[in-house]
Amino acid sequence: MIEDLRTLVEVESPSRDRDALTASAKTVAAVVERRLGGHAVLVDSAAGPHVHWSGGGDPRVLILGHHDTVFPLGTLERRPFKVEDGHATGPGVFDMLGGLVQAVHGLAALEDRSGVEILVTADEEVGSHSSRALIEERALACGAVLVFEGAADGGGLKTGRKGCGTFRVSITGRASHAGLEPAAGVNALVEAARQVLDIAALGRPELGTTVTPTVAAAGTLDNVVPAAATVVVDVRVESADEKERVEAAFAALTPHLEEAEIEVEGGIGRPPMPESASAELFALARRLVPGIEGMAVGGGSDGNFTAALGVPTLDGLGAVGGGAHADHEYVVVDAMTGRANLVAALVRALQEA
């Protein structure tokens, strides 16, 4: 497993870089074929190739993951793959190349792999726009989904996820000289500041709803009243009702300054994954590994899409570790075998059900 993890990490795969993702997809396919046999198909898309493998027979369970990472080309040179003090480190080890390796090796322990499909997508980190339809198609065909995103704290499984999305609020004002005639302008930065306060007030933490302005830009020169500004907002919700409320509130944003204009783009693209969607599979996992914990988390994954279809979905089956999207990202090496064995046991149980 360590050598396969090294192989995947050392082919960098930043989202939106088609050349890098093509090389990464070919590497993932080669690892899958070497360990499981058969043929891993590269499914081309606008984002880059997805990897699909089938063990044949009637589909029963979908192993779901992604091979794109958030790290730009060159990260590997600065932070090469290594194993030290019980941790494997390198760009993408935890999110989510370690999980892919565990899934493949868990399946390799099974003599019978019929009914099993693997789908490794190229754009999960940037919204899964090119892969969503394929994910949903294979999830419905298989009837059960195991998602190999990194484990929750302490190695727990992820039994629920918030719905998440991004909004971009664009404000149009009118430029003027900041010293000679500031009143002749419409200050887009002042309007943006007012809108940030209105937007932040949409959060309802008591309901699990967070609305967080994250990026803002405005202005050109220090002596010009800004004619344009943008605010980017991260939103997380636990329920469909909150999704509708927040989206309606963004659509209803109105200017505070006369003659300012507002345009809103985006939405909550990943629906919430309710804990009910994982209940059946989590109960099975607990029978196989008594005492394993389950928890709902704020981050989204492609499991949000499959759960929204009513397909039983269990997430967080990937690597035990931490530091997703950060330089200290790591995988606990001693936990890898146990997680691979859990994959094998879950799939065997689903085959026999």
Please give the positions annotated as active site: 68, 124
- What does residue 283 show for φ and ψ, rounded to 5 degrees? -60, -40
Is-contact 81 9, C-beta < 8 A? yes
Is-contact 156 316, C-beta < 8 A? yes
Number of C-beta neighbours around residue 344 at 10 A: 17
Q: Which two tokens stand for residue 136?
A: 């949903």
CA distances from 270 to 6, 26, 116, 119, 180 (A): 31, 28, 25, 18, 48
Q: What is the CA radius of gyration of the chain?
A: 23
CA distance 350 to 145: 10
CA distance 183 to 179: 10
Residue 29: its H or E element:
helix 18-36
Of residues 42, 45, 20, the one with CA closest to residue 33: 42
Cβ partners under 8 Å of residue 309, min gap 6: 136, 139, 140
Of residues 96, 34, 121, 104, the one with CA closest to residue 343: 104
Of residues 294, 299, 322, the one with CA closest to residue 94: 322
Q: The tokens 């760009």 sit on which residue?
A: 91
Q: Parallel, antiparallel, or unpaired: how do β-strands 294-297 and 210-218 relate?
A: unpaired
CA distances from 346 to 92, 164, 277, 330 (A): 25, 28, 16, 25
Of residues 139, 105, 145, 114, the one with CA closest to residue 344: 105
